[in-house]
Structure 1
Amino acid sequence: MPDQPNLGRQSYTGSLSILTSLFFIWGFITCLNDILIPHLKAVFTLSYTQAMLIQFCFFTAYFLISVPSGYLVEKIDYKGGIIVGLAIAGCGCSLFYPAAGLHSYPLFLAAFFVLASGITLLQVSANPYVTVLGDPHTASSRLTLTQAFNSLGTTLAPYFGALFILSIAVKSADQIKLLDADQLTAYQAAEAAAVQNPYLLLAALLFLMAAVFALLKLPKINQQAEASGPNEEGDSAWHHAHLVLGAVAIFVYVGGEVSIGSFLVNFLGEPDIAGLAEQDAGKYVSFYWGGAMVGRFIGAAVMQKIHPGKVLAFNALAAAALVLATMLGSGTLAMITILSVGLCNSIMFPTIFSLALTGLGKHSGQGSGILCAAIVGGAILPLLQGAFADHIGIQQAFFIPLCCYLFIAYYGFRCRRL
């Protein structure tokens, strides 16, 4: 008898190891947005508000697709959702080829939406799958550990994106007027290829992963069986206050994290901050996401000993203090403090997600869809911050993520007894 649980754990360990590849790839793709935003802003001569339409279209997909994805996963199970999600994301990456070739910003926005729709289905499938593959008491720690590989993707993406996508210096409108026909054709082809080639490779990888997952045998989870528990109450996930507040916390967390990441290249290029060129600033974005990766490995161990709610409240307060220091500081200090926020972000998403699903029982699938829909904060808050940045400047517009972290601290404190 003692051998049976051990075999189960070994089986789950293998499945979790395979699932980490998904967390890595969607982290890599999502973080490439931070590199594409300054690139497309320069190519299409956009305002900050217009450039933030990229994040708006990307994260709006979470709001529109999450709940339908939850119902789809109930029909085709977690594995089916993963396969379909990878295929849709692959189609989204493929759309970047004609968008760059036609020099069409609206087509770019459509490509971002399709790509994010696939990633949304992946998240709705994989996040709750990880929480149920093992001991419920270590769900936060387990999801944090797998999210660490998501952070590995977000850490590597800005560096590679800066090398390839930002490798071609964008010319101003006046400089373009000085080019003859042949030079203009060559310049436009180089600009298109800088985006086309990386995303064609990503599309091929996503389709390959879909084929691999179709052949894999993953454990099937009987959601009805694992759902029942002493904390289950009500006939809907909406009847659980900690889920509703958790959805708000996910909304503000993703909004705050994406708002900071989206403005980093331009912020580090400010003369009174670091005055960095786009390509150099893009590489520094890796420190922001790298901090999240390191913090998640540490957090996975810490939350084995300390209640996740307390760790969440502490990290959120630390993040708020760092953002405030960024708003009040300048030069190297402001640069270091804003990049250090990534370390504090580390455990927030997986901890909020797992705390919000605690005790939902058979409503866990619905709860997961609600939480993933709340990721739409990444669409709304960066756009709002872009509007403020156009009027009061990038640095002072960071008050948006500051408010976000204060709410997350409240949520962590409230959930310390769950």
Structure 2
Amino acid sequence: MSAAGAAENDRPGWLPLALIVSLFFLWGGANNLNDVLIAQFKKAFVLSDFRAGLVQSAFYLGYFLVAMPAGMYMRRFGYKSAVIFGLALYGVGALLFWPAASVGTYELFLLALFVIASGLAFLETSANPFVTLLGPRETATRRLNLAQAFNPLGSIAGVLIGQHFIFSGIERSPAQISAMSAAERTAYYTSETHAVQWPYLVIGLVVLGWALLIMLTRFPKSVTAHTSSATHAGAGVLGKLLRDRRFVGAMCAQFFYVGAQVGVWSYTIRYVQATMTGTSSRDAANFLMAELVCFMAGRFAGTALMKYIAPVRLLMAFAAINVCLTLYAVLHPGSSGAYALAACSFFMSVMYPTVFALGVEGRGDDERKLGSALLVMTIIGGAVLTAVMGAVSDHSSIATAMSVPACCFAVVLLFAWQRRRNVAEAAR
């Protein structure tokens, strides 16, 4: 075969890209189902807020602990193998919900969530750089933003699955539960626990089927090649990345961005209820749904804008707007502040994929793989900074707590400004 023919065969088609882009939808649904599970488990197991919050702790811990092993696995076996392994973990974790519900043990649910998060760590570590390679280098950032646009679509699907297939709509007050007989209480708690079985069984089977489909699909050899000969250089590559100020800057920006996103979404309902007297939790949840819709719209709009505006300039502009919007929510608590938070999600949309793409831009295969793992590990910022917001709220108010994401967006703005200045200097 001629060199031209070989290059033609190695060109990525639409199917490989479509299969990898679909992964962003799958993990978006898993992430936002956690918001439903917190409420469901709190009711089914009669948990304190702290114990119910362990749902997110198990998730973030899975991301943080498994991201680096995922990067090492990817260096050894390639992107495609890492994606398949991640989907297998995701599927197995979802299937574990069935025995966990049958046994009725909260800790087994947490283990299942940890397994799911471990699979998602593999998917995020591999799928983000994978998308940047499945096409021309000059459109890599725009392509990743387009792929990430399917993430909030999955998030909306996750919330809808929870609303219609997990939440029973049966709410019992403490007084009503106390008035029940022991058998009635047991039946009530059991039915609420079993509500998660069928949805997660279907999710697990779909995810495992998707893994099989990817396994059977031919991908370009240039992005599935193994790098076993380079495994001994891992420490050197890691050290090089951590000495690179531009890459460390991307890690910091990603840490604070994820903290801002998770913090705003986690406390939106509380902000609305605390600042808009008489608003029910169901009505307040409409603001969260509005944020997810704005987030999805922003992803598609941001991808389109990148045809005309350099990604780093767009990142800088959106970060500056979000500093203003979150400070407005601090200074003007109430309906206008809540609308400002909803609008904030539109401008958050391009931040994660753009920072990610800028972090791995122009790097060799080994640096891209380990760099992806380090960037995924920064998702722990969602746990750390959300806790900081809670502490600020406890000592002041939920409106004041929105100053934390304002500071986070300022860090992203600083990163974008610094990166733009470096590009300008290099062009001289």
- Normalised TM-score (structure 2): 0.87
With over 3 angstroms needed to count, the CA separation of the structure-2 counterparts of 1:234 and 1:326, relative to structure 1, is: closer
1:105-145 CA-to-partner distances (Å, cap 9, x unmatched) read 33332222111100000111111111122222221101000
Residue 207 of structure 1 corresponds to which residue in structure 2?
A: 208
**In the alignment, structure 1 residue 331 sits paired with structure 2 residue 334:** yes
Give the one of 234, 249, 265 matched to 1:261. 265
* 1:214-363 pair list within 5 angstroms: 214-221=215-222, 236-270=240-274, 272=276, 275-278=279-282, 280-362=283-365, 363=367
Q: Secondary structure at the match of 1:217?
A: coil
Residue 109 of structure 2 corresponds to which residue in structure 1?
A: 108
Residue 125 of structure 1 corresponds to which residue in structure 2?
A: 126
Q: What is the rounded CA distance, in whole Å, between the counterparts of 1:361 and 1:274 in structure 2?
A: 56
Deviation at 1:29, TM superposition (A): 0.9
Select between 100-109 and 176-185 the one with higher mean Cα deviation: 100-109
1:168-220 CA-to-partner distances (Å, cap 9, x unmatched) read 34434332111123432331133113322222221111111112112111223
Residue 164 of structure 1 corresponds to which residue in structure 2?
A: 165
With over 3 angstroms needed to count, the CA separation of the structure-2 counterparts of 1:235 and 1:323, relative to structure 1, is: closer
**Fraction of identical pairs, as percent:** 34
With over 3 angstroms needed to count, the CA separation of the structure-2 counterparts of 1:177 and 1:249, relative to structure 1, is: same
Q: What is the rounded CA distance, in whole Å, between the counterparts of 1:82 and 1:335 in structure 2?
A: 38
Q: What is the rounded CA distance, in whole Å, between the counterparts of 2:275 and 2:315 in structure 1?
A: 34
Give the one of 363, 366, 369 matched to 2:370. 366
Residue 77 of structure 2 corresponds to which residue in structure 1?
A: 76
Residue 234 of structure 2 corresponds to which residue in structure 1?
A: none
Check whether the contact 2:260–2:382 (CA below 8 A) recurs between aligned residues.
Answer: yes
Q: What is the rounded CA distance, in whole Å, between the counterparts of 2:395 and 2:38 in structure 1?
A: 19
Residue 230 of structure 1 corresponds to which residue in structure 2?
A: none
Q: Secondary structure at the match of 2:78?
A: helix
Q: What is the rounded CA distance, in whole Å, between the counterparts of 1:94 and 1:386 in structure 2?
A: 33
Residue 179 of structure 2 corresponds to which residue in structure 1?
A: 178
Which AA in structure 2 matches 1:378?
G
Q: What is the rounded CA distance, in whole Å, between the counterparts of 2:118 and 2:157 in structure 1?
A: 23
Check whether the contact 2:265–2:288 (CA below 8 A) recurs between aligned residues.
Answer: yes
Deviation at 1:322, TM superposition (A): 1.7
Residue 20 of structure 1 corresponds to which residue in structure 2?
A: 21
Select between 327-336 and 372-381 the one with higher mean Cα deviation: 327-336
Deviation at 1:352, TM superposition (A): 0.2
1:343-375 CA-to-partner distances (Å, cap 9, x unmatched) read 011100000000111232241111111111111
Check whether the contact 2:9–2:220 (CA below 8 A) recurs between aligned residues.
Answer: no
With over 3 angstroms needed to count, the CA separation of the structure-2 counterparts of 1:84 and 1:134, relative to structure 1, is: same
Q: Secondary structure at the match of 2:195?
A: helix
Q: Secondary structure at the match of 2:149?
A: helix
Residue 232 of structure 2 corresponds to which residue in structure 1?
A: none
Q: What is the rounded CA distance, in whole Å, between the counterparts of 1:182 and 1:196 in structure 2?
A: 22
With over 3 angstroms needed to count, the CA separation of the structure-2 counterparts of 1:164 and 1:254, relative to structure 1, is: same
Q: What is the rounded CA distance, in whole Å, between the counterparts of 2:272 and 2:37 in structure 1?
A: 16
Q: Secondary structure at the match of 1:306?
A: coil
Gaps of 5+ in 2: 228-236, 424-428
1:137-161 CA-to-partner distances (Å, cap 9, x unmatched) read 2211010001011121112222332
- Normalised TM-score (structure 1): 0.89
With over 3 angstroms needed to count, the CA separation of the structure-2 counterparts of 1:386 and 1:166, relative to structure 1, is: farther
Q: What is the rounded CA distance, in whole Å, between the counterparts of 2:5 and 2:141 in structure 1?
A: 24
Which AA in structure 1 matches 2:359?
A
Q: What is the rounded CA distance, in whole Å, between the counterparts of 2:226 and 2:90 in structure 1?
A: 31
**Count of aligned pairs:** 410
With over 3 angstroms needed to count, the CA separation of the structure-2 counterparts of 1:291 and 1:274, relative to structure 1, is: farther
Q: What is the rounded CA distance, in whole Å, between the counterparts of 2:207 and 2:220 in structure 1?
A: 22
Q: Secondary structure at the match of 2:288?
A: helix
**In the alignment, structure 1 residue 11 sits paired with structure 2 residue 12:** yes
Q: What is the rounded CA distance, in whole Å, between the counterparts of 2:45 and 2:392 in structure 1?
A: 21
Q: What is the rounded CA distance, in whole Å, between the counterparts of 2:8 and 2:277 in structure 1?
A: 54
With over 3 angstroms needed to count, the CA separation of the structure-2 counterparts of 1:136 and 1:5, relative to structure 1, is: farther
**In the alignment, structure 1 residue 34 sits paired with structure 2 residue 38:** no
Q: What is the rounded CA distance, in whole Å, between the counterparts of 1:240 and 1:140 in structure 2?
A: 20
Residue 231 of structure 2 corresponds to which residue in structure 1?
A: none
**In the alignment, structure 1 residue 404 sits paired with structure 2 residue 405:** no
1:28-60 CA-to-partner distances (Å, cap 9, x unmatched) read 111112222333345455555544332222112
